[in-house]
Chains A and B, each alone.
Chain A
Amino acid sequence: MDPIYYIYLATLLFSIGAIGVLVRRNAIIVFMSVELMLNAANLVFVAFARMNGNLDGQTVAFFVMVVAAAEVVVGLAIIVQVFRTRASASIDEPNLLKY
């Protein structure tokens, strides 16, 4: 099978993630959308590693996974703290900061 289809799939996943970040209101779901975007990038790297015939892309995929995990931990820490303070995980509700 032509690896280019994986690139189309990855682009689709990335777009779904990006739209999810922009339209969803629950912080956790926004967060999952970001993870979807990162994993789409992983798919791009792995597919291109196959197409280019070198291993750089697979190496990158490992690092992106780990960075994504680190981001999850930092992000969940912030979201849980905001949630405990406000008893809500909506990202529309924190609206104290505006001019």
Chain B
Amino acid sequence: MNVYTPILVLGILAFGFAVFSIVIASFTGPKRYNRAKYAAYECGIEPTPQPMGGGRFPVKFYLTAMMFIIFDIELVFLYPWAVSADALGAFGLIAIFLFLINLCLPYAFEWRRGGLEWD
């Protein structure tokens, strides 16, 4: 059972942090309400009322979705490395760093080209 103790501790810590954040935010956060604050989503499109035929999504959503998909799924390679990081040793560490550097290059490209800006 010892193995699961860290997970339990982590769970308690996470729960405690969540409660702490919510409580502390209600004391310290500024309270300026406006129409946007009351909307269901602070960003993105209005879910209701839907126009006829479902309406159209701005193309920007596709761009964001595409970037999310590519950078999100590339990280899947970290999982097999992470579970056997000890066994893989220095070779695995170097390999995964090279991989992450490769991943940073297109991210930098995206950022410099304004792919991360909404307007």
Q: A80-B59, A84-B59 are in contact. Are A62 and B77 (CB under 8 A)?
A: yes
> Chain B nearest CB: distance from A16 CB in Å?
22
Query: Using an 8 Å CB-CB cutoff, how does the interface string of B38-66 with A read, 1 for contact, 0 for none?
Result: 00000000000000000000010011011
Residues of A within 8 A of B74 (CB): 66, 69
Residues of A within 8 A of B69 (CB): 69, 72-73
Contact with A76, one of B62, B72, B73, B80 (Cβ below 8 angstroms): B62
> By the criterion CB–CB under 8 Å, are A66 and B73 in contact?
yes
Task: Find residues 49-68 in chain A having any chain B CB closer than 8 Å to their own CB.
Answer: 59, 62, 65-66, 68
Interface size class, chain A: 10 to 19
Q: How far is the CA of A53 from the CA of B92 in the complex (A)?
A: 24
> By the criterion CB–CB under 8 Å, are A66 and B77 in contact?
yes
Asked if B70 is at the interface (CB within 8 A of a chain A CB), the reply is: yes
Q: How far is the CA of A44 from the CA of B88 in the complex (A)?
A: 27
Interface size on B, residues (CB 8 A): 14
Contact with A65, one of B59, B63, B76 (Cβ below 8 angstroms): B76
> By the criterion CB–CB under 8 Å, are B62 and A70 in contact?
no
Residues of B within 8 A of A80 (CB): 59, 62-63
> Chain B nearest CB: distance from A97 CB in Å?
24
Task: Find residues 11-34 in chain B having any chain A CB closer than 8 Å to their own CB.
Answer: none
Q: How far is the CA of A59 from the CA of B80 in the complex (A)?
A: 9
Chain A to chain B: the 7 pairs with minimum beta-carbon distance, closest first: A69-B73, A73-B66, A73-B70, A69-B69, A80-B62, A76-B66, A69-B70
Subset of 6 A-B contacts with CB under 8 Å: A62-B76, A62-B80, A66-B76, A69-B70, A69-B73, A76-B66
